[in-house]
Structure 1
Amino acid sequence: MTFSSLSLVITLSIIYISGCSPAIPTGGTFTIDLIHRDSVDSPFYDGSMSYSQRMSHTLQRSFINAKRINKNSNNTKSKYQTEIIPDHGEFLLNISFGDPSHKVLAIADSGSDLSWIQCKPCVQCSEHKAPIFDPKKSSTYEPVNCNSGTCKAISTVETKCSKTNKCQFFESYADGSFSNGTVAKESVTLGDKVLQNIIFGCSFSNAGVFRPSWGGIVGLGGGNESLVSQIRSIVPGKFSYCLIPYPKTDEVQNKSSKMTFGDIDFGPNVVSTPLVPKEPKTYYYVTLEAISVGNKRFDVNLGSLRPLQKGNMIVDSGTTLTMLPRNIYEDVEATIRSAINVRTLKDPQKALSLCYRATKVSDVPKFTMHFDGADVELSRENVFVMTSKHIMCLAFRPTSDVAIYGNLAQMDFRVGYDLDNNLVSLEPYDCEKLILEFLADFVVVDLEEDNAIPLVLGRLFLETAGALIVVKARKSTFRDRGKQMSFQTRHIVNPPPTPISSLNVVASVKPTKDMIGNGKPIKCEGRVEKETIVYRIMKRLIGL
């Protein structure tokens, strides 16, 4: 067998994160992992728990989070008092503060604005397993002056002036928990993106029911102090996420969902609905007009003499179940019950009301959420949740408070928030496919291990991937089956005699059985520990 000489050699450079991530888009846009709290990469993970136990906890957190949202959105108590701490969020993210950077695994909370972490010296702090951030060791830490416009503009937490003229924040919760400290500016790192002068709370005193396994809160709400709002001058005022489905039964969750800050190109099946400005600004309000089950449509405002209330539903990734207005929920449940026409069972978690043995249900009726200007058709997995190995239940609950569009209904959708144009966009998408994957024919060659030989993407691969390499712009683009991924190229540190370029890919590449043979996808999986050039031992592929 002979091989043509290659005029271009490309190696893969990676950044260590858990699971696989899509390529970093060009421009200011960047992507990070959202780690589910039941993932093996989460400090909350408990391998001794069964699927049923984990799901029971998930449903209880959903009820608690819904209560928190309703209390906060209709707060009749102290202006600054939050009903429940955001300890019950479903997703975490890795974020680093300071220079040198200090890594924190924090709750990603779409129901909070001001981010805060524990800091030294901690006068009164809850137990924390990981090292605590020391602002004295950071060259970029800058306390905010209490007379500054920044301090005066903070509206979601109580602020006061210290004896040293520093802006102090006081975050209190109805259960007696609290977090107090200094409002400061700091450099923050997300993925490979360094964000300067981010406002956050450095907590020197906190107590209550905070968990020792997480290091703080990252506010992703719509208020001015949230991380999303602060970086609008750095990246476009847009962010999106793609949530992978829950693992089935006792499967181990070892994959991460993705969150992108900045522009994202949606496909032709995207629909959009207006974001409705309301107080508090923290939440993302949309207008639910009706729900269809099969050919029956149920209007939210049916029978009411008043016009439809705009912003009657909150989109929240931290709440698992979808909470529907009580009047429409009863019609929806009755119609589904009639359409499926199979003997119902009791929910083993005693939380949901309409349940079936999953194997007995062959088809479910078409289910569509009618938002203002956007009809979103949900799949079986969006409508029903497995509460045990064999029983599935309707993943909706009635509420007399504000309705909530939960994360089960959002799974396998790309959900994008355009804060500049006040829009939420939804596109059906297989979120596990947000990996570098190409259908390609190739040959595995038995070679001796040689760390001087990088992984080579040859002409056949580049042709299959529809590669476009712009040398001057240091940009490479791959296209395959309607998807497009762009990479920033850079020179390798300590390069070999012949200069080569590397693709900066947020992913680790591990050979799998699917890599051998024709027409099989090349999959990206596994995890790594630090930035490096990855060399593959080709002879090991033969033994797979």
Structure 2
Amino acid sequence: MLLGFIVYIVDGTDQILSARFHVDLKTLHPRDSCSPSVKGVSSGSNWTSLRVVHRYGPCSPFADQRKQLSHAKILDLDQAHVDDIHRRVSHSEPLAASATAIPTRSGAYLDSGNYVVTVGFGTPKKDQTVIFDTGSSVSWIQCQPCVGSCYKQEAPLFDPSLSSTYANISCASCFCNELLNKPRCSASDCIYSVRYGDGSVTAGFYAQDTLTLSPVDSTPGFRFGCGERNMGLFGRTDGLLGLGRDKPSIVSQTYNKYGGVFSYCLPLTSSSVGYLSFGSYPAGDLLLTPMLSDPNSPTFYYLALTGISVGGQLIAVPPSIFTRAGTIIDSGTVITRLPATAYSALRSAFRQGMTAYKSVPGTTGLLDTCYDFNGSGGKVIIPRVALHLGGGVTINLGAAGILVAVSRTQLCLAFAGNGDDSSMGILGNTQQKGFNVLYDINKRVIGFGPGNCS
């Protein structure tokens, strides 16, 4: 899908003054039907690829995919997710009461929210459609019996009594102690509990069973939460697949098979399809930036955001503004968060490049740089935005990474500021759409390459 092309404006001294996109607004809105995908579920000797879809869109497996939340509620939930991440990093709350929140997404216009994959649990396998999240490490699904409460999901609840390979993990096991929060016990069985920033909760037995990613690829003894008390805003998904860096994550558990390597491409709109892959990758197609870490926040993937360009010009922000609190990349955050000083400079530069269009108030306090393109004929010109990362990497964002549509004619700058410069920055999934995003734990690099999810 062609989202725009770059126009360079050159003065008499042959210096590039600005770079701008010609954008067809239709490319930023989902279609009513699911677009075909080249890449589906497939496997090789040391890799596996899964089909990724937006859970609220025509490609979704859920019957109520058209059910929508208000845009204000969507952004409120995303802010709750970000607040929770900031609390976890600052350790202002006990870890037992916090984990990555999962924002519920409408997908009709603001369509860059949660993405799901379908995997199999148990023997014989039962397919479960789960959110995948790089900011969480504990995977879990809803299980029978639901002794407390369970939210409504599309597929039947997983019944561990029907799996010949299921087993609860003992409280005496070292696997119980790998949980981030202090585990509890029921008799001799390990109990997990996760509370999300939006108030959602899952709890139950920490267990192990066979995880099937493809017909020829299974992982015996995969550790996950078998949730029997689950409440909150999980849509109709069956659970969550944790891609974080801690021991409980699927990345750590499959390290011997895939070498700590995974990648994904998030679809450009909710009517198209992406992929999640584990294993080998063609390094020549990727720009690699160092993967950083913080021992106080071991779940997250850090990278170095060193600067931002708008219209070909670097915004005037000291590098120390970006490095003070650091930046993580997160598949569960929708809108990228920047230090307050950096966001103010980005917003100012972007507004200067958009004076030809009618500005309108934002839908909430989160998105404050919005435009009404009614009467534009569906064609607009916007400044190019580029992110500069450690290792000399520059990521030129497409239109889908710069503007987010809140209606057919109203679009907003898809960035937001933290309340100050001390809160950690977050590279959200809106800016990741359409890229092949790679994580290599062994080589400690994060890669960005051409994808378009084909």
Query: TM-score over 0.5 for the alignment?
Result: yes
Which residue pairs with 2:356 in the alignment? 342
Which residue pairs with 2:444 in the alignment? 422
Query: Which structure has the larger Rg over C-alpha atoms?
Result: 1
Aligned ranges 1:90-109 → 2 under 5 Å: 90-109=114-133
Correspondence 1:126 to 2:150 = yes
Unaligned 5+ segments in structure 1 are 1-16, 248-252, 435-544
Offset at residue 176 of structure 1 (A): 5.9
Which residue pairs with 2:231 in the alignment? 208
The one-letter code matched in structure 2 to 1:398 is G
The one-letter code matched in structure 2 to 1:411 is K
Structure 1: distance between partners of 2:288 and 2:236: 37
Offset at residue 323 of structure 1 (A): 1.0
Offset at residue 396 of structure 1 (A): 0.7
Match of 1:333 among 336, 347, 358: 347
Offset at residue 320 of structure 1 (A): 1.7
Aligned ranges 1:71-470 → 2 under 5 Å: 71-82=87-98, 85-86=101-102, 88=104, 90-129=114-153, 130-152=155-177, 154-163=178-187, 165-173=188-196, 177-192=200-215, 193-204=217-228, 206-211=229-234, 213-246=236-269, 253=271, 255-268=272-285, 270-278=286-294, 279-298=296-315, 300-301=317-318, 309=323, 312-347=326-361, 349-350=363-364, 351-358=366-373, 359=376, 362-373=380-391, 374-399=393-418, 400=420, 401-431=423-453, 434=454
Q: Deviations over 1:251-308 (max 9, x none)?
A: xx2x32111111121444x21111111132211111111111134323653577xxx6
> Is the Cα–Cα contact under 8 Å of residues 99 and 136 in structure 2 kept in the other structure?
no
Q: Deviations over 1:45-95 (max 9, x none)?
A: 44365xxx6755544443232222222222312131116743536112212
Structure 2: distance between partners of 1:386 and 1:176: 27
**Does the C-alpha gap of structure 1 residues 312 and 176 become closer, same or farther in structure 2, counting only changes over 3 Å?**
closer
SS at match of 2:387: strand
> Is the Cα–Cα contact under 8 Å of residues 401 and 430 in structure 2 kept in the other structure?
yes
Which residue pairs with 2:31 in the alignment? none
Structure 2: distance between partners of 1:216 and 1:198: 15
Offset at residue 174 of structure 1 (A): 6.2
Which residue pairs with 2:13 in the alignment? none
| Aligned CA-pair RMSD | 2.7
Structure 2: distance between partners of 1:298 and 1:156: 39
> Is the Cα–Cα contact under 8 Å of residues 57 and 65 in structure 2 kept in the other structure?
no
Which residue pairs with 1:529 in the alignment? none
Identical counterparts, % of pairs: 27
Instruction: Give the length in aligned residue pairs.
Output: 400
Structure 2: distance between partners of 1:413 and 1:194: 27
> Is the Cα–Cα contact under 8 Å of residues 289 and 299 in structure 1 kept in the other structure?
no
> Is the Cα–Cα contact under 8 Å of residues 52 and 273 in structure 2 kept in the other structure?
yes
**Does the C-alpha gap of structure 1 residues 368 and 131 become closer, same or farther in structure 2, counting only changes over 3 Å?**
same
- TM-score normalized with structure 1 length: 0.68
**Does the C-alpha gap of structure 1 residues 87 and 322 become closer, same or farther in structure 2, counting only changes over 3 Å?**
closer
Aligned ranges 1:433-512 → 2 under 5 Å: 434=454
Which residue pairs with 2:20 in the alignment? none
Structure 2: distance between partners of 1:393 and 1:115: 34
**Does the C-alpha gap of structure 1 residues 276 and 105 become closer, same or farther in structure 2, counting only changes over 3 Å?**
same
> Is the Cα–Cα contact under 8 Å of residues 56 and 387 in structure 1 kept in the other structure?
no
**Does the C-alpha gap of structure 1 residues 363 and 20 become closer, same or farther in structure 2, counting only changes over 3 Å?**
closer
